[in-house]
Amino acid sequence: MSESHRCTIIPPYLLRALAHSDDPEVAALAAQTLQSDAEMRAQRQGRHNVLVPARPAESLPAPGAPNAPQRVVSDARGTETLPGTTVRREGEPATGDPAADEAYDGLGATWDLFSSAYGRNSLDGHGMPMLATVHFGRNYDNAFWDGTQMVFGDGDGRYFRRFTLSLDVIGHELAHGVTELTAGLTYRGQSGALNESISDVFGSLVRQRALGQDAHGADWLIGADLFTEAVQGEALRSLKAPGTAYDDPALGKDPQPAHMDDYVRTTDDNGGVHINSGIPNHAFYLAATAIGGNAWEQAGRIWYAALTGPGISADCDFAIFAGLTVDAARSEFGEVSPEADAVESAWRQVGVLDGAGAPGRGDGAPDRVVVPSGEAPSEEGPVEEGPVPGGEAPVPEPEEPVDGTEVFVRRTGGFAGLTRERSVRLEELPRDDAQCWLSLLGGPQLSALAEGPSHPDAFCYEVRCSLPHVHVSLPEPGLPGEIRDLLERTLTFPQ
């Protein structure tokens, strides 16, 4: 196997073994690594108050003053190493690199919205530096929040332009930071869809405020600048009309529902977080346009109060959040007020609350079921939200590809929420890739990687194989580069 294709990883079971080593230094290092992994997973379970910066402390600016952001933009220069080389700090002149300067300006516009409209000093409320990395990877079709900073790819140039082009995308990713530091919404199922919706809402408000658009003058689109001319679509998502943003032969049709009658249960994309977010997205649009005026000053205040108030929890679902927004509207504008009526009516119109303001279909069985290609829905009902099961016990690694062995790879999630999949026989692949797959399928590595960390807007890869039997879901953030490269090569292998 060539050096570039070699699959290597130190899975948790090996670290646990090393933690009991007779060598005190080895044992301490292994225990520290296991503890760090546990803390990272725990951070994504609920509220926490401090993010650990991705950069060395000495390279970070001091927390910002109450009326000033502290921005740092770095350049990964086509690598996947974070944070990259610092290219622009707060107050420095433009670099001439559109991606770096767009990121810098977007950081400022987002800081300004939260500061001016909601009195929040940066993402944590205490002036934490706002960090971004541009030119991540090569032709990388994504932008994401990694728990400490935002990261932008340049797009493939065929379907997607660079992800810094859309101001609402920048605001979206930074809003993930606000959510992580307040409600800590679990990134799966309805709480994950709320996490995505809140980022879409505040991303849209960043853009509306920068452009001076009121609720009726805004287009309510997310990612309207991302598609190339080759794509039949106007944006990635529409808060005004979920399900209508694009309809393209290559990318498919916008799958977002606007009502709980069409809620989707799926094992893809952490339980459909980029799909079902269309329901709370549409509720915000309905509330904002019914209230009128500048959405960031009226409906935005209500949503911000619900997000940051004491009643929200990490596992908050649509119905609970709807109730929190109604309560926030009454608190902000009065028990009996047009604003409170507009918010309650919006949630009724999308089927989350019934006519009496109680939970509607949010707790009922959805009508629409989507499962990964090649699977059938359970005869007992819709597919349950939750992680795809891990692989079974390891089987001996075969020395040569078994005739007919087929591996299925499916990639879901990402900011765009799009799906790619490919099924291929191992004997069709280059020998190095086939041998790498045999090593992975015949060992414990894939099951160990399924327990790895994730983050908002990250990709998730599903891997299935019948012989040996494997079915795992692999969060991209925990994947070694060589394994992710193998997955991508398999996805793009010629038909």
pLDDT in the model for residue 140? 92
Mean per-residue pLDDT, 346-366: 71
Q: Tell me, what amino acid is at 207?
A: R
- pLDDT of residue 399 exceeding 70, the answer is no
What is the CB neighbour count within 10 angstroms for residue 205? 30
Q: What is the DSSP letter of 126?
A: S
E-strand ranges in 203-358 read 221-222, 237-238, 247-248, 252-253, 264-265
Does the active-site annotation cover 274?
A: yes
Q: For the CA atoms of the chain, what is the radius of gyration?
A: 23
Under the banding of pLDDT at 50, 70 and 90, the label for residue 60 is low
CA–CA gap between residue 164 and residue 143 (Å, rounded): 8
**CA-based nearest residue to 206, from 281, 304, 109:** 109
Domains of the chain: 52-181 (3.10.170.10), 186-386 (1.10.390.10), 387-491 (no CATH)
Q: What DSSP string runs through 197-244?
A: HHHHHHHHHHHHHHHT--TTT---EESTTTB-TTSSBS-SEESSSTT-
Tokens 């015949």 locate to: 442
Q: Which of 172, 259, 274, 455 is catalytic?
A: 274
Q: What DSSP string runs through 44-103?
A: TTS--S-PPPSS-GGGSPPPPPTT---EEEEE-TTS--SS-EEEEETTPPP-S-HHHHHH
pLDDT in the model for residue 340? 97
pLDDT 10s digits, 298-343 = 999 999 999 999 999 999 999 999 999 999 999 999 999 999 999 9
pLDDT in the model for residue 481? 87
pLDDT in the model for residue 17? 43
Under the banding of pLDDT at 50, 70 and 90, the label for residue 357 is low
Q: Tell me, what amino acid is at 318?
A: F
- pLDDT of residue 398 exceeding 60, the answer is no
pLDDT in the model for residue 49? 36
Under the banding of pLDDT at 50, 70 and 90, the label for residue 444 is confident
- pLDDT of residue 397 exceeding 80, the answer is no
Q: What is the mean pLDDT of the chain?
A: 82
pLDDT in the model for residue 61? 63
pLDDT 10s digits, 358-387 = 666 544 434 444 444 444 333 333 333 333
pLDDT 10s digits, 215-269 = 999 999 999 999 999 999 999 999 999 999 999 998 899 999 999 999 999 988 9
Q: Which of 102, 135, 173, 344 is catalytic?
A: 173
**CA-based nearest residue to 457, from 203, 253, 105:** 203
Under the banding of pLDDT at 50, 70 and 90, the label for residue 403 is low
Q: Which residues contact 25 (CB under 8 A, 6 or more apart)?
A: none
pLDDT 10s digits, 129-186 = 999 999 999 999 999 999 899 999 999 999 999 999 999 999 999 999 999 999 999 9
- pLDDT of residue 35 exceeding 70, the answer is no
